[in-house]
Amino acid sequence: MIWRLLKTLLFTAVVPGTVSVYLPQALKYGGTELAVAWRYSGAALVVCGALIYSWCAWNFVSKGLGTPAPIAAPRVLVVSGPYRCTRNPMYVGVAGVIFGQALFYGAKTVAIYGCAVVLAFHLFVLLYEEPALRRQFAAPYDEYCAKVPRWILRVRRG
């Protein structure tokens, strides 16, 4: 498990770290000063997004017996935790970090970048991830898809 965790930390620093932290930081200049309430909302969104991603990454390591990296993907279908509310909570978390920074810095460029990232996520999910998961997990994945929406968060009791 320690190796999966180390691989996950490395992957997180390189891929989601670049997409959700390094690039938005490079794009934030020229933003407008927003009211303090917006800045706090942005900071809260960054923290929530990071927590969602971290929870999902931990579930991949501990329950899925893999990592978030496609080359070392989970061997067990993960449907617990945030995966009960949406099939793609990692992407939702990363998007939250990006849009939170857009609010925090008042940076339209970061918001536009966030929209491009969300579009890229959607295309990746449709064209690669879902077909790969259907091949790997077959009927259990189809049942999961029938119960849990792709993007829109659905909070269920129980």
pTM: 0.91
- Which token pair is 67? 């990592």
Instruction: Kindly state whether residue 11 falls inside one of the protein's structural domains.
Output: no
In a domain, 142, yes or no: yes
- Is 152 a domain residue? no
Q: Domain span at residue 91?
A: 19-147
Q: Is residue 158 part of a domain?
A: no
Report if residue 9 sits inside a domain.
no
Report the domain count for the chain: 1
Least confident of 23-27, 68-72, 85-89, 136-140: 68-72
Kindly report the CATH number assigned to the domain that includes residue 105.
1.20.120.1630
Kindly state whether residue 110 falls inside one of the protein's structural domains. Answer: yes
Q: What angle do CA 90, 49, 78 make, to 5 degrees?
A: 30
User: Which has more confidence, 73 or 52?
Assistant: 52
Please indicate, yes or no, if residue 10 is contained in any of the structural domains.
Answer: no
More confident residue, 71 or 150: 150
Q: Classify residue 157: in a domain, yes or no.
A: no
Q: Using CA atoms, how far apart are residues 136 and 131, in angstroms rounded to an integer?
A: 9
Those residues with Cβ within 8 angstroms of residue 16's Cβ, 6 or more apart along the chain or in another chain: 53, 68, 90, 94
